[in-house]
Structure formats: C-alpha cells, structure tokens
C-alpha cells in the first residue's frame, strides 16, 4: 500500500526537537557555512500518513540544505526524498559526506555531483608550524575598527555582516608591530555543542609570508586551551587555504558535496 506523503511549512523554532536529533546523530560537527544558510532558510515538516516523520530545509537559490527523518520512517527514505525533490523543485543539494541519510538518498537517486567544499573535522594538536606567530599581537576587533576594515571587500560580505561579527566578538585583529596583517574568525556553530568554526583573512599586501598559518594556529591554540573543539573548511577549489589548514595540522576526511537535481 503506497504511503501518503504531505508537507507543511513551519519555522525553525517548531523544528527544534527534530533538529536537535539531526545534529546529535551527525558523527561530526555541523558546517558553519550551512548553519548560516539554515538560519535564513524555509523549513517544512514531512508527514507520512498524517504522522510527523521529519523535515527538510530549503535555502536560497533553490538549494536543499537538510533532510531528516525519524528512525522508524527511514525504510521509505528514498521514496520520501524523491517526493521532497518533486515538491520543492530545488536545483541542487548541499550534502556533508558524513550525513549518511542524505548522502544515500542522493546516490540512490543517481544525482550528478561535484565537490563543493573541503571539511576539516580532525586535527593533530601540534604547533610545530607556528611560523612567526610569536611576533604577532592579537586583539578583539571593536566598532572603532569598522571604518578601517570596510575597504577590504573580501573580509566580509557587507557592512552589516562585519558589524555583526564585531558585536559578536567573532573577529580578532592581528598586528606585526603597528601594521595590520590579518584577521581571525571564530564562530560558535550550534548551541549546546562545543564546536567552533575558525578561519582567517590576510591583508592583501601581507599574503605569502606565513601569516595565514600563524593566525589559524593562534585560533586553534585558543580553542584547545579553552576546551573548545576547532573545526574549519574551505571551498574545494581554494587550494591555498586547504594547504594552510593542512600545515596547521587539520585533517580532512570529508567533503561538502553539491548534487544537481533533474530539470
């Protein structure tokens, strides 16, 4: 007997219990890049024969960000997933390769794919490649720094994002003497989890001098000394960032995979 699949638009607050289940079942940390998109996404509940079975979240530009089913509905996961694709008409699916349910459904649906990002979830605790980090001085950015940082277009998407990072104490400034050489990002990814996304930006005139490695190692050391778990990632084609993170002891065993859906 065929199952009856229906959908109901909702909000993230109403999804809290199911989303906690999803996050808890992931063997590694959620990706901050995706978490930001989820915050702006459009969630919907999935019902099977009028019973709440799970949810999906659709993001900007027709992207499926999350797909989750409670365990006793997973026997029909592939059929439900295809129904979600037909209902939403999404153009692509962002899938962490350690999200086994979504990965399996995408592969069984024979969706074409390509690597979208490199996810670093393991690391060594070594700091042997600190470079000249000992010469760098760091401080938290303040709103007084806003106008000086705004001209650097690749530091943040816009003034609003830069101001939000400063107000959230997410941005550290790194100096060599009196000169700004770069910034370090640190973001708490998900409430009630101890994972922190770290990253770096280097002043255009200071690149290629080892500062990126020094900044990443500073952020990594800060996390480990404060019992926080550092995680990071980069675009699949960002070879320079990938090499920096690897030199800082980060290890990637997983990717962010972009699956394309049929027209």
Longest dimension (CA), the chain: 73
Q: What is the per-residue pLDDT for 52? A: 97
Tokens of 103: 């990965």
Domains parsed from the chain with CATH numbers: 5-111 (3.40.630.80), 121-255 (3.40.630.30)
Q: What is the per-residue pLDDT for 130? A: 47
Cα dist. 165→35, 154, 201 in Å? 15, 14, 13
**The pTM is what?**
0.92
Q: Cβ atoms within 10 A of the Cβ of 103, count? A: 17
Residue 262 DSSP code: P
15 Cβ contact partners less than 8 Å away, ≥ 6 residues apart: 43, 45, 55
Q: What is the per-residue pLDDT for 18? A: 97
Residue keyed to tokens 């090499």 = 243
Q: What is the per-residue pLDDT for 129? A: 44
pLDDT tens per residue across span 191-210: 999 999 999 999 999 999 99
Question: For the chain, which ranges sit under pLDDT 70?
Answer: 1, 126-134
Q: Give which of 261, 255, 254 is closest to 63, Cα–Cα.
A: 261
Q: What is the per-residue pLDDT for 135? A: 81
pLDDT tens per residue across span 213-257: 999 999 999 999 999 999 999 999 999 999 999 999 999 999 999
E-strand spans in 179-249? 179-188, 195-202, 229-235
The half-sphere exposure of 242 on its side-chain side, counting CA atoms within 13 A, is 13
Spatial separation of the C-alpha atoms in residues 255 and 148, rounded to whole Å: 35
CB 104 within 8 A of CB 77: yes
Q: What is the per-residue pLDDT for 128? A: 45
209 Cβ contact partners less than 8 Å away, ≥ 6 residues apart: 181
Spatial separation of the C-alpha atoms in residues 13 and 102, rounded to whole Å: 22
Q: What is the per-residue pLDDT for 126? A: 67
CB 259 within 8 A of CB 112: yes
């Amino acid at each position: 007997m065929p199952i009856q699949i229906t959908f109901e638009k909702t909000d993230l607050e109403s999804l809290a219990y199911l989303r906690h289940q999803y996050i808890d079942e992931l063997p590694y940390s959620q990706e901050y890049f995706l978490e930001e998109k989820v915050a702006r996404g459009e969630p919907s509940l999935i019902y099977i024969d009028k019973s709440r079975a799970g949810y999906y979240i659709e993001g900007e530009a027709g992207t499926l960000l999350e797909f989750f089913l409670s365990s006793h509905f997973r026997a029909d996961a592939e059929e439900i997933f295809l129904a979600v694709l037909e209902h939403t008409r999404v153009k692509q699916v962002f899938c962490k390769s350690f999200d086994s349910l979504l990965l399996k459904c995408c592969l069984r649906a024979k969706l074409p794919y390509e690597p979208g990002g490199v996810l670093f979830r393991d690391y060594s605790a070594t700091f042997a490649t600190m470079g000249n980090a000992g010469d760098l001085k760091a401080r938290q950015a303040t709103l007084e720094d806003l106008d000086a940082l705004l001209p650097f277009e690749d530091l943040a998407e816009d003034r609003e994002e830069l101001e939000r990072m400063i107000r959230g104490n997410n941005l550290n400034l790194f100096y060599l003497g009196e000169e700004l050489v770069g910034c370090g990002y640190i973001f708490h990814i998900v409430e009630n989890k101890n994972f922190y996304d770290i990253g770096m930006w280097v002043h255009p005139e200071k690149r290629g001098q080892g500062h990126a490695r020094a900044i990443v190692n500073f952020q990594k050391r800060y996390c480990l000394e404060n019992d926080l778990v550092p995680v990071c990632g980069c675009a699949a084609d960002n070879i320079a960032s990938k090499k920096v993170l690897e030199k800082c002891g980060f290890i990637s065993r997983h990717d962010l995979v972009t699956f394309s859906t049929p027209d």
